[in-house]
Amino acid sequence: MKNMTLRTKLVIEIVIVVVIAAITGAAAYVNDYYHSEDVESALETTKDVEVTQIPEGYFFDGSGTEDALIFYPGGKVEVTAYAPLMQQIAAEGMDCFLVKMPGNLAIFGKNKAQELMVAYDYDHWYLGGHSLGGAMAASYASSHASELSGLLLLASYATEDLSDAGFPALVVVGTKDQVLNRDKYAQYESNLPEDTTVLEIVGGNHAYYGNYGEQDGDGEATITREEQQAEVVEALRLAFE
């Protein structure tokens, strides 16, 4: 009986150590992310766009009243890194909701678009995201196609079938992007809606859709971050007009 008690205590101690190690590792993983850089001005209200922090993230309210974009950030990227891009899109007439994800991972908040579409009233809802955020946006769109008017994928692809979706899609890829899995991008190309526009940004890389510095393993862009984002804004206007 004594040996059994000692053995049981040893097992319990091992389990405790394993659990603590798992929790510590998970916390370290979640807290290791790309921080936004030089975005303070983009988070402030301007003459064209009113910026409000909301429970879901940030709301960029421009002059438009009918169209809104819900945007999912890239994996392990601080949500505010996309504020400059959202400012520009909102200034062009499409209001933007920049969604904060648990642990900076959109896989844990794929359905957050639904909360916003219930809480706000727009004639046309567009959903988009960068990298992992784009993949999760596409996944959500595959089962809510009737609620959406368009899909924006920045350096991303749709792993679920959207070929019969009744909305257009805009896919943007930089020629210097070395983070995007090109094999999977090609593999899932047939999942995109029939009405899909693909923009290849010459000189653009993976990280320059947001303001969070350089990304590990990425190619060196030959255009500026501002130029890459400006191309996205113009392509979005043309694809969803």
Look at 110 and 7; give whichever has higher pLDDT. Answer: 110
86 in the same domain as 26: no
Look at 214 and 1; give whichever has higher pLDDT. Answer: 214
Are 219 and 206 a contacting pair, CB within 8 Å? yes
Q: Please give the pLDDT value at position 20.
A: 43
Q: Please give the pLDDT value at position 216.
A: 96
Supply 94's token pair.
């499409």
With 70 as the cut, is the pLDDT of residue 17 above it?
Answer: no
Supply 67's token pair.
């169209």
Distance CA(10)–CA(168), nearest Å, equals 60
Q: Please give the pLDDT value at position 11.
A: 54
214 in the same domain as 194: yes
Q: Please give the pLDDT value at position 9.
A: 54
Termini Cα distance of the chain: 77
Reported as a single tens digit per residue, the pLDDT across 24-55 is: 334 444 457 999 999 999 999 999 999 999 99
158 in the same domain as 57: yes
62 in the same domain as 4: no
CATH number for the domain spanning 97: value is 3.40.50.1820
Phi, psi of 81 (to 5 degrees): -60, -20
13 in the same domain as 95: no
Residue recorded with tokens 């993230």:
57
Q: Please give the pLDDT value at position 8.
A: 60
Sign of CA dihedral 225, 226, 229, 231: negative
* Burial class, 102, CB count within 10 angstroms (exposed 0-12 / middle 13-18 / buried 19+): exposed
Whole-structure pTM value: 0.88
The two beta strands, 57-61 and 50-54, are antiparallel
Q: Please give the pLDDT value at position 7.
A: 63
With 50 as the cut, is the pLDDT of residue 240 above it?
Answer: yes
Q: How confident is the model at residue 18 (pLDDT cuts 50, 70, 90)?
A: very low
116 in the same domain as 25: no
99 in the same domain as 5: no
113 in the same domain as 66: yes
Domain housing 4? 1-32
Residue recorded with tokens 């009918």:
66
* Residue whose C-alpha is closest to residue 239's, from 164, 171, 157, 191: 171
7 in the same domain as 60: no
With 90 as the cut, is the pLDDT of residue 16 above it?
Answer: no
Look at 65 and 1; give whichever has higher pLDDT. Answer: 65
Reported as a single tens digit per residue, the pLDDT across 63-97 is: 999 999 999 999 999 999 999 999 999 999 999 99
84 in the same domain as 130: yes
11 in the same domain as 96: no
Distance CA(31)–CA(48), nearest Å, equals 34
42 in the same domain as 28: no
Total number of domains constituting the chain: 2
